[in-house]
Amino acid sequence: QQQVKQSPQSLIVQKGGISIINCAYENTAFDYFPWYQQFPGKGPALLIAIRPDVSEKKEGRFTISFNKSAKQFSLHIMDSQPGDSATYFCAAPGRNTGGFKTIFGAGTRLFVKA
């Protein structure tokens, strides 16, 4: 069973601090690595994604760092705000008979203290 391992399970950060969430994957054939953000009572929504031909992608306060040799990628949230409090999921493609499916990590619950 293909897996995506995410850590930490939960994270508490002071307002203005940096939040870092890590993810490890197994299959080297993957070519798309997204992070999804989920608020209570809502479905996950794409936050930021990276393809493995680059080592870093930045969008506003959110940055993905990608380490292909280590099969790891991480999400950095700079200047964390209380509104960032949510659950974050990394995901990676896995193969199925029809092509690709998206496998999610277990999630990281982030709480930003005001």
Which two structure tokens, joined as six digits, stand for 12? 């508490």
User: Binding to other proteins by residue 20, rule CB under 8 A?
Assistant: no
Residue 43 tokens, joined? 């479905």
96 binds other proteins (CB under 8 A): yes
Q: Are 101 and 93 in contact (CB under 8 A)?
A: yes
Alpha-carbon gap, residue 68 to 101, rounded angstroms: 20
Alpha-carbon Rg of the chain, whole angstroms? 14
Task: Kindly state whether residue 111 participates in binding other proteins, applying the rule CB under 8 A.
Answer: no
Contact pattern from residue 38 through residue 77 relative to other proteins, giving x for each residue in contact according to CB under 8 A and a dash for the rest: ---xxxxxx--x----------------------------
Q: Which is nearer to other proteins, 6 or 80 (CB)?
A: 6
| Residue in 114, 102, 110 with CA at minimum distance from that of residue 40 | 110
Binds other proteins (CB under 8 A): choice among 64, 77, 103, 110: 103
25's CB contacts (< 8 A; 6+ apart) are 3, 4, 5, 33, 71, 72, 73, 92
If the CB atoms of residues 6 and 19 are measured against other proteins, the closer one turns out to be: 6
**How many residues belong to the site for other proteins (CB under 8 A)?**
27
Work out whether 35 is an interface residue with other proteins (CB under 8 A).
no
Can you give the binding site for other proteins, defined by CB under 8 A? 6, 30-32, 34, 36, 41-46, 49, 89, 93, 96-107
